[in-house]
């Protein structure tokens, strides 16, 4: 075990000496699916953005950007897969910070964040309750955006943000398994993602958001029960 201490905020933590998931290639096991898709989600902490080599090449050719990435080896067995796995890469999120999140407007209550060690703490229980009480958007400080088409804010570190150009690219090249959630609905729990299978995805997205808001069931932040 190795002990760490931040010289700025004083936060202390302990970790395994080689437990640095973000700075090295990864091995991965596939749980579900019968086809190799262009993006794979791991669905647990720590969150990774794993895309196929084809995606990285298309992003570069479409002038979306060339992004730092580590290789990901998909280990057998491949279960229902009839073909060998694609070449996959994990975006190096540490090198992709491109904007600051407005914590207050984004619903994080009593959040404290250190720009040096990136440690954060907040009242997660109350923040979660408020997020379930109303749709809370992710709000970026526009003046801090560096212009990148794909980037992450300083928090939440596991989420990658993108511009509409990336969605247009997914439609044009028929990229598979992407889930694009508009910032205006925050985490969008239960939202299926923008239907980018058609050129008029923007107009369809408006209707999707409208339907999402209509079906949203708020929870009383005090009792935890649905508000009738």
Q: Locate all alpha helices (DSSP H) within the chain, ordered by sequence.
A: 53-61, 124-133, 164-172, 201-215
Which tens digits make up the pLDDT trace of 102-121? Answer: 988 888 888 787 877 777 77
Give 80's pLDDT tier (boundaries 50, 70, 90): confident
**How far is it, in rounded angstroms, from Cα 162 to Cα 26?**
24
Strand arrangement of the beta sheet that strand 150-153 belongs to: 140-141, 97-101, 150-153, 161-162
pTM of structure:
0.83
Which tens digits make up the pLDDT trace of 130-183? Answer: 666 788 899 999 999 999 999 998 775 568 999 999 999 999 999 999 999 999
Q: Any idea which residue has 């905020």 for tokens? A: 9
């Amino acid at each position: 075990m190795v002990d760490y201490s931040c010289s700025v905020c004083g936060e202390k933590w302990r970790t395994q000496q080689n437990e640095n998931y973000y700075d090295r290639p990864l091995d991965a096991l596939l749980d579900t699916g019968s086809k190799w898709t262009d993006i794979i989600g791991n669905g647990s902490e720590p969150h990774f953005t794993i895309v196929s080599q084809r995606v990285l090449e298309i992003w570069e050719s479409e002038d979306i950007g060339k992004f730092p990435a580590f290789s990901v080896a998909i280990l057998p067995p491949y279960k229902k897969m009839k073909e060998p796995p694609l070449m996959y890469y994990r975006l190096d999120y540490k090198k992709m910070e491109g904007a600051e999140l407005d914590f207050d407007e984004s619903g994080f209550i009593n959040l404290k964040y250190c720009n040096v060690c990136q440690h954060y703490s907040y009242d997660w229980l109350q923040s979660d309750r408020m997020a379930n009480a109303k749709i809370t958007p992710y709000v970026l400080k526009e003046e801090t955006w560096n212009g990148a088409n794909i980037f992450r804010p300083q928090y939440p570190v596991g989420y990658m943000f993108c511009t509409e150009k990336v969605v247009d690219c997914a439609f044009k090249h028929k990229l598979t398994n992407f889930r694009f959630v508009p910032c205006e609905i925050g985490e969008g729990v239960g939202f299926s993602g923008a239907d980018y299978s058609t050129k008029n995805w923007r107009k369809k997205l408006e209707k999707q958001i409208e339907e999402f808001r209509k079906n949203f069931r708020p929870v009383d932040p005090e009792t935890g029960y649905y508000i009738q």
